[in-house]
Structure 1
Amino acid sequence: MKMESKVVLYPSPGIGHLVSMVELGKLIHTHHHPSLSVTILVLPAPFETGSTDAYISTVTPSITFHHLPTTPLPPDHSSSDFIDLAFGIPEVYNPIVHDTLVAISRKSTIKAVILDFFSNAAFQVSTSLDLPTYYFYTSGASGLCSFLHLPTIHKTFSKSIKDLDVDFKIPGVPPIHSSYMPTVMFDRESNSYKNFIKTSNNMAKSSGVIANSFYELEERAAQALRDGKHITDGPAPPIYLIGPLIATGSSQVEHECFKWLDTQPSRSVVFLCFGSQGVLKKQQLKEMADGLERGGQRFLWVVRNPDSDGKDLWGLDDVLPEGFLDRTKGTGLVVKNWAPQPAILGHESVGGFVSHCGWNSSLEAVVCGVPMVAWPLYAEQKLNRVYLVEEIKVALWLKMSADGFVNADALEETVRQLMEGEEGRAVRQRVSEMSGKAKAAVEDAGGSSRLDFLKLTHPWIHPH
């Protein structure tokens, strides 16, 4: 009896990583190969709320979720920071993952195991079972160039990144100043740094790396990846750019902001939103308010509670300058906590986006043809700013102090430049062109992402 063919996906805990993997699973199952069944291994997350379960219940039944049994974490994990936990938990689960893959193999032929960046610990498990093992890198080609180049940086410099003052010359991307690297990479003695290096080395040895981008958006980086220039010792893995892969929310989203947007002129509104972790301090919110009020551009601004205790009992008047909401009633709308970002970026009235440069948000903006002002906050966002502004040219650079504070003048000036200036016109034209190319990459028969996807899945469907 012929066993069914299966692809196993293993995201790290946390809703963001799960959503990206589910989108990849849907693509594998529906778009191309219903003959491949998809199973997603779900880790119990120590730092996750119920949002994961709620989300899983909405996913197509053609994807199977296999919940790994809860295992007590060693005492030293309880106080770990987020990144150490993200890498450390999969390590604890390796024996369970091993037994799970063996059990699945009795009933199915596993054609591929696809790991999340943070699930790196499982690389030794899947490869020891001789299973073709891939990585899904949820950022783009430029980020992947930098990430795969880390072991070379490690060997070239003996100091920690925090003690360097240099521009890294990485093939395929503009020069990157050492201070723009993610802070978790600053200290070469830290666990997080060592885990990043380990993951980068394993990626280089894997059956391939899948990234969420498309060739036309990042041609120079994509070419460097194909030529293997970013890895200086040893062969480079095959790279598959299969994006833009974006979670499609319901198009029937009900939200107060749409009534307001419907009354605004075409492409006239600047949307300000900083992602699920993007919380700004009260002083910064007041400075932004001043810049927006003085600039007079129409705006839709999502404001989150700056008090970290997360109390829901707060009003916009508590965190914004006195009278601001009344004075800007004609030109702006401020929304508390959350708004449906993809649907807003796709609205006819929206003409600019002040963004934290998270890769998913940046791709959403590119697909919708909305130019950006780059305001990075954490993680790899300062790197993304370099790619988006200097290489891809779909965003403008926003002046900020060394500790990341943006004053009212800088915001007012950059938003005006985006909406009315020459530089703004150039990035608007460029992003509009990229929007068309994004759709062609995934929809046209000869689209670049489509062809990469077929290359990726071919050995799973047609064994030698």
Structure 2
Amino acid sequence: MGGGSDAIVLYPYPGLGHLISMVELGKLLLTHHPSFSITILASTAPTTIAATAKLVASSNDQLTNYIKAVSATNPAINFHHLPIISLPENVNKQNLPFEYARLQIPNILQTLTSNTKALILDMFCDALFDVAKDLNIPTFFFYTSAGRSLAVLINIPTFHRTVNSLSDYGDTPISIPGMPPLPVTTLPKLLFDRSTNFYKSFLSMSTHMAISDGIILNTFDLLEERALKALRAGLCLPNQPTPPIFTVGPLISGRSGDNDEHESLKWLNNQPKDSVVFLCFGSMGVFSIKQLEAMALGLEKSGQRFLWVVRNPPIEELGVEDPSLEDILPKGFVERTKERGLVVRKWAPQVEVLSHDSVGGFVTHCGWNSVLEAVCNGVPMVAWPLYAEQKLSRIFLVEEMKVAVGVKENETGFVSAEELEKKVKELMDSERGEEIRGRVLEFRNGGVKAKEEGGSSIASLAELAQLWKQN
């Protein structure tokens, strides 16, 4: 692996969003520091859990196709394919992301050689941390979300020590330097039940992050100025130093090159500039039929042009594996809105869509890759978080960065038709919407400058490369 040159080994979690960011990091390193060899440990998720086997198999196909495309255009990136492993029967399914990396340890050990200058881990690949430390390999984490959510994540051990449960905070917001006050309800649900293996894995991972050789972030200084200053000054971790923070973003995938004929792009070609609101919620953005119906009514009543990517509702709701649009959307909706709206099933080329002149707004689940893609294309957002750290992201997007309006959901997470209508109109047709658009454009320009020679992200990357060369 990697011949005699200094090898940097990257280990992403086997999910497309995680892999794409790691590949972009590898490309960036090779562009600016070609003396390193880049090896990415590629794996596919096991498909042995029957309920999700079809979804996982489809995701694995996407991973395989993506890796083939990258290998064809970037031969300097070496993909080391880890073997497919079968899961033990007693494996904790909820803790699968962390368990999978642990089960791969024997295979990964064979790939680490004496010329490995650094191992870069995805947060879910934390099982490798102690192994790498035992081998004296400098170990870094590549955190694929915002710097602000990192400031919360590395405080999990502090919360663990100082309160019996996060619920103890009640109505008192959590205070972390460089951050707005955070209602405890915005923290990921998995952090509230300390009895689960998933919580224990998160606690271990956040503990390791705080003592790692460094944390690499897919962000740029201008986008998160206040939080990054606090992190770098060591203010976010009480009573212990913060590891070096390296901001190398924005890292987003380029155009895929083979989607020019996708129906969504053909349709967008015939719409006025900045007139279309794009709704897309990531690979796990699945809604109930009731919620889909409310979304359809909200879009219809808003009067705005829209491009909406609709995934099937949970199969148990309909008992049909591949329902028609008529089965899941209000009767006559597609016909009534065909002059100003397009509904696309399951997938659209998001990067190409967001970079299209006709798109003027983005209703998003607040996944960080999607946020960066919107920012880099100057597209303002409606923030509709669904899971993980996305409620935190909504606070950052709306209150700190001021690049989005946020939807309000009820206690069960349901967003009404009236709420979506109101927020889409506000984004696309109001003074506040114009202010948000101007702010996003400032960040877009800042992101371009960060990646130019002399920019903050290229300087941060150089600092990282220097550290590896000294080892």
Shorter-chain TM range is over 0.9
> What is the distance in 1 between the residues matched to 2:418 and 2:188?
27
Question: Structure 2: where are the runs of 5+ without partners?
Answer: 48-55
> What is the distance in 2 between the residues matched to 1:289 and 1:33?
49
Q: Which amino acid aligns with 2:281?
A: F
Assess if the C-alpha contact under 8 Å between 1:115 and 1:133 holds in 2: yes
Assess if the C-alpha contact under 8 Å between 2:6 and 2:116 holds in 1: yes
Q: Please, which of 400, 403, 421 is the counterpart of residue 409 of structure 2?
A: 400
* Alignment partner, residue 350 of structure 1: 359
Assess if the C-alpha contact under 8 Å between 1:161 and 1:188 holds in 2: no
- TM-score, normalised to structure 2's length? 0.92
* Alignment partner, residue 51 of structure 2: none
Q: Please, which of 74, 77, 86 is the counterpart of residue 88 of structure 2?
A: 74
* Alignment partner, residue 235 of structure 2: 229
> What is the distance in 2 between the residues matched to 1:261 and 1:251?
17
Describe how 1:199-238 pairs up with structure 2 within 5 A: 199-238=205-244
1:279 is the counterpart of 2:286: yes
Q: Which amino acid aligns with 1:267?
A: D
Question: Structure 1: where are the runs of 5+ without partners?
Answer: none
* Alignment partner, residue 25 of structure 2: 24
Change (3 A) 1:251 1:68: closer
Describe how 1:172-251 pairs up with structure 2 within 5 A: 172-251=178-257
**Which secondary structure state, in structure 2, belongs to the residue aligned with residue 176 of structure 1?**
coil
Q: Please, which of 264, 268, 278 is the counterpart of residue 257 of structure 1?
A: 264
* Deviation of the 1:74 alpha carbon: 3.1
* Alignment partner, residue 43 of structure 2: 43
* Deviation of the 1:72 alpha carbon: 4.5
> What is the distance in 2 between the residues matched to 1:326 and 1:165?
46
* Deviation of the 1:177 alpha carbon: 1.2
Q: Please, which of 391, 411, 425 is the counterpart of residue 420 of structure 2?
A: 411
> What is the distance in 1 between the residues matched to 2:119 and 2:415?
43
* Alignment partner, residue 154 of structure 1: 160
**Which secondary structure state, in structure 2, belongs to the residue aligned with residue 114 of structure 1?**
strand
* Deviation of the 1:251 alpha carbon: 4.2
> What is the distance in 2 between the residues matched to 1:290 and 1:72?
45
What's the RMSD between the two structures over aligned residues?
Answer: 1.8
Assess if the C-alpha contact under 8 Å between 1:160 and 1:188 holds in 2: no
> What is the distance in 1 between the residues matched to 2:262 and 2:420?
27
* Deviation of the 1:429 alpha carbon: 1.0
Assess if the C-alpha contact under 8 Å between 1:117 and 1:137 holds in 2: yes
Q: Which amino acid aligns with 2:103?
A: V
> Which whole-Å deviations, capped at 9, do the CAs of 1:119-157 have from their partners, x for residues lacking one?
101011111111111000001211111111221222221
Q: Which amino acid aligns with 2:23?
A: V
* Alignment partner, residue 137 of structure 2: 131
**Which secondary structure state, in structure 1, belongs to the residue aligned with residue 313 of structure 2?**
coil
Assess if the C-alpha contact under 8 Å between 1:257 and 1:333 holds in 2: yes
Q: Which amino acid aligns with 2:46?
A: P
Assess if the C-alpha contact under 8 Å between 1:137 and 1:210 holds in 2: yes
* Alignment partner, residue 101 of structure 2: 90
* Deviation of the 1:13 alpha carbon: 2.5
Q: Please, which of 388, 408, 422 is the counterpart of residue 397 of structure 2?
A: 388
Describe how 1:355-374 pairs up with structure 2 within 5 A: 355-374=364-383
> What is the distance in 2 between the residues matched to 1:181 and 1:403?
16
Give the percent of matched residue pairs that are identical in Structure 1 and Structure 2: 50
> Which whole-Å deviations, capped at 9, do the CAs of 1:221-241 have from their partners, x for residues lacking one?
110111011111211100001
Change (3 A) 1:250 1:68: closer
> What is the distance in 1 between the residues matched to 2:457 and 2:315?
41
* Deviation of the 1:382 alpha carbon: 0.6
1:64 is the counterpart of 2:87: no
**Which secondary structure state, in structure 2, belongs to the residue aligned with residue 167 of structure 1?**
coil
* Alignment partner, residue 458 of structure 1: 466
> What is the distance in 1 between the residues matched to 2:439 and 2:297?
30
> What is the distance in 1 between the residues matched to 2:409 and 2:87?
41
Further displaced range: 49-58 or 364-373? 49-58
Change (3 A) 1:55 1:162: farther
Alignment coverage as a number of residue pairs: 452
* Alignment partner, residue 301 of structure 1: 308
* Alignment partner, residue 439 of structure 1: 448
> Which whole-Å deviations, capped at 9, do the CAs of 1:11-37 have from their partners, x for residues lacking one?
1222322222111111112x1122111
